[in-house]
Structure formats: structure tokens, C-alpha cells
Amino acid sequence: MSDCPLLPVVGGDLLVPTVMGSEVRYTNLDYAASAPALEVVAEHVVRVLPLYASVHRGAGYASQVSTSVYESARVIVGDFVGARPGDEVIFTRNTTDSLNLLASIVPGETVFLDIEHHANLLPWVEKGGRVVVSADTIEQTLLRVDEELARRPAALLTVTGASNVTGETLPLRQLANIAHRYGTRLAVDAAQLLPHRRVNLQLQGIDYLAFSGHKAYAPFGAGVLVGRTDWLDAGPAYLRGGGAVTSVSVEKTEWRTGPSRHEAGSPNVVGVAALARAIQALDQLDETEWTAHEAGLRQRLVDGFDQLPEVRVHRIFSDSTDPVGVVSFTVDGVDSRLLATYLSAEWGIGVRDGKFCAHPLLRRLGITEPALRASFGLGSTDLDADRLIEAVTAFLRVGPTWNYDLVDGHWEV
């Protein structure tokens, strides 16, 4: 049973208007897009705001305070993800930024899977990376990765930790073992994994890890790339500007090493402080309770959908066992946009509809039209799953009770 939130989130009791004119409690089933901020995070942001200033900019009081907030966030994040001594923690805008930064410094070829979010696909496609087509099972997919790395060396293997479409997780330790056998490093897109599971670079053999604050219970603005220093210090500065250099003349620039090499410009101190506070809250969670909370919610939804023959829940692998709280589904003969609009307008339920920035994966799953995705997190309860099942059931029985029209790409009632 997950009958109460594991941690309170901002907007947990938010009332939203329905098209019928009544108000209902907002049912947030869209954690995978952006998770709501934890209440402790919002309180922390209010404390940080009065004294924020650009970091590493002299002896001004606010700048010193901000620098200390910013640099201690690096330590908090590095500790949480089990960074090795000397690993760099670089603050970026989000996972997309982190993976593009990684792509800009990789000294060789990259191998990636066809199940990735576009953020962990397009940077590698652009660089002529080699794709491994996933098989029906994870086991066979690992064999294919092994064969590809044996066939031709690669500098990097990059995989998602948890699929943003199906929530399925990949066996990272095994992937690291395969990669390292061929002298290849492992990068993990943890945008969907870190908000749901403990991740540990040392224990899991991960060389680079990317994630976003806004999916991990902090508001928008900050992302992270953590990983081995040598490539990061040898590669070109990701952004060119103030803070990334030790000396500049028009003829010659000396670039810093360390995180600041890639963090030119005034960084998002408030975003980073929020992210670090969220990480501290995740660090306090009992791991078993955390996993059980979400597994229970996910199972409750899937069991409810099993009672509705028109609803199809999608999965990539027939042997996956440990998915996070992300469930994608389609309903036979039903336009996903119409159903998502109905859920929102008549029930105050927020799900995601679309192709989830994972077009190759949707094709691989045989989904040709947009799909729907429900996702859970720390603020979710059984009631959220139950309301979605009830609403989809009502939709299938009676359909929308209001008339929705598609006007310029938006549904109007």
C-alpha cells in the first residue's frame, strides 16, 4: 500500500478547475516530465534567494556566500552518486546539456542503443556513433553490445539508466563489465533513474553520469555531469567565456582545468542549491521503502489497466524485472491527445501524451501514433493510480462528456 506520499511536494494538495466548473485535487501523474519540487527544496530556495550572486567573483559578501553554496553542492552531489576521488562534478543546464558536453569531449567513437531518449541519441548520431539495435530480451541485448564492442573498439558506451517511455531499467553493473573488458567507458543517462533509485558510480562501474534537477524534485535550471577527469580536462571548453580561463590575450587563451573549464558565464546558483537540497532529501530515504512505494503504485496501475482490454501497456524487454514508476500505454482506437485532454479537463489528471522524445523506441515498440504516459514519484499515492483507472474506465464507457475540438493544435471545449 502506498496510501500516503513518501515526502511532501509543493502543490500536493493543489485544486484545479475542471471544464464542468468544479474544482478537483490535481492528480500529478507526470513526474517523468518534471517532478514537483519537494517542500524542503522550496523552503531552501527561499533561504538562498536573499544572497545570491555570481560565484567565484571576488571578495564581495554575497559572492562568497553563493560560492560556498555552489561548491558545497558539488560535494553533496558527488557524495550522493558515489563519485571516485578526483571525479569532476560539472553543473550544466540539464541532462541534454550534460550529454552534449560529454559528446564534445569524447576522444573516440561511441556506441549507443536504439531505446534512448533523443538527448542520449542525437549527440551521438551527429558524431557518427554506432547504434546497437536492442533485442527482445535484455540478456540478448547485452550480447549484442558485447559483440559490437568486440567487433570494433569504442571510447564510450552510453545507455539510459531507466527508460523514459517504459520505466524499464538496465543492468548497469553488467554493462560496465562488458564495456570495461574492451577498454570502453560507460556513460549513463540517469534522468529517469536517479529520481527513483540509488545510483553509485563506484559500485556500478559508471564512468560518466548525467541527470537533471527538475526531474529530481528541484525546480528547473540545473543539471549535472559527473565523471572521470582526464577526458574533461583534455577536451575543449564546452562554453567559452568568463570563469573558464586563467589568462586571456587576443593571441592566446589559457583554459582552466576542473569543472570551471566547462562552466563559463554566471552559473545558476539557485538552481544548483535547489538540486543539492533535493539530493540531500533523497539521500535520507530508506531505499527499500522508496523502491516499494513506487513499485506498489506501478503495479496497482498496471493491474487496473489489465482489467481494461482496450488498454495496452508497453514494454521493451520480455525479461525486464525492475522498472521505475513510469508506465506508457495506448488505448485501442482512441486518440491519445483526446484522452489526455479529457483526463486533464474533466478529472484534473495530468499525464503526458506524445512520442516522449524517443521516436526510434516508439517505432521499435510498434507505436505509430502518439501514446500516453503516467509516472509516479515521492508525492504519489494509491489514489492517484485509482483515479486514472477510474477516469480511463469512464472514458471507455461514456467518452468525453464535453465536446473537444482541435483548433490550431490545441483542444478547445
| Active-site annotation holder among 308, 357, 394, 396 | 357
Answer yes or no: 357 catalytic.
yes
For ligand PMP, the closer of residues 171 and 342 by Cβ is: 171
For ligand PMP, the closer of residues 101 and 119 by Cβ is: 119
**CA pair distance 372, 353, nearest whole angstrom:** 4
Smallest separation (angstroms) from ligand PMP to the CB of 253? 29
- Are 367 and 330 within 8 A, CB to CB? yes
For ligand PMP, the closer of residues 275 and 392 by Cβ is: 275
For ligand PMP, the closer of residues 123 and 347 by Cβ is: 123
What is the longest distance spanned by two Cα atoms in the chain?
72
**CA pair distance 101, 97, nearest whole angstrom:** 6
**CA pair distance 299, 373, nearest whole angstrom:** 15
For ligand PMP, the closer of residues 193 and 334 by Cβ is: 193
Smallest separation (angstroms) from ligand PMP to the CB of 403? 32
C-alpha distances out from residue 222 to 63, 227, 275, 289, Å: 19, 17, 7, 27
For ligand PMP, the closer of residues 377 and 392 by Cβ is: 377
316 secondary structure, DSSP code: S
- Are 393 and 308 within 8 A, CB to CB? yes
Which of helix, strand or coil describes residue 337?
A: helix
For ligand PMP, the closer of residues 345 and 361 by Cβ is: 361
Smallest separation (angstroms) from ligand PMP to the CB of 113? 12
Amino acid identity, residue 192?
Answer: Q
Which residues would be at the binding site for ligand PMP (CB under 6 A)?
Answer: 94-96, 117, 119-120, 160, 164, 189, 191-192, 212, 214, 357
- Residue 1: exposed, middle, or buried by beta-carbon count in 10 A (0-12, 13-18, 19+)? exposed
- Interhelix angle 61-80/269-284, rounded to 10 degrees, is 40
List the end-to-end C-alpha distance of the chain, in Å, as a whole number.
37
- Are 95 and 189 within 8 A, CB to CB? yes
Smallest separation (angstroms) from ligand PMP to the CB of 111? 17
For ligand PMP, the closer of residues 66 and 94 by Cβ is: 94
**CA pair distance 383, 388, nearest whole angstrom:** 9
Smallest separation (angstroms) from ligand PMP to the CB of 70? 20
**CA pair distance 98, 93, nearest whole angstrom:** 8
Alpha helices in 213-268 (DSSP H): 229-234
Smallest separation (angstroms) from ligand PMP to the CB of 188? 10
| Strand (E) or helix (H) holding 44 | helix 39-48
Which of helix, strand or coil describes residue 122?
A: helix
**CA pair distance 312, 104, nearest whole angstrom:** 39
Smallest separation (angstroms) from ligand PMP to the CB of 355? 12
Smallest separation (angstroms) from ligand PMP to the CB of 63? 28
**CA pair distance 143, 401, nearest whole angstrom:** 51
Write out the catalytic residue numbers: 357
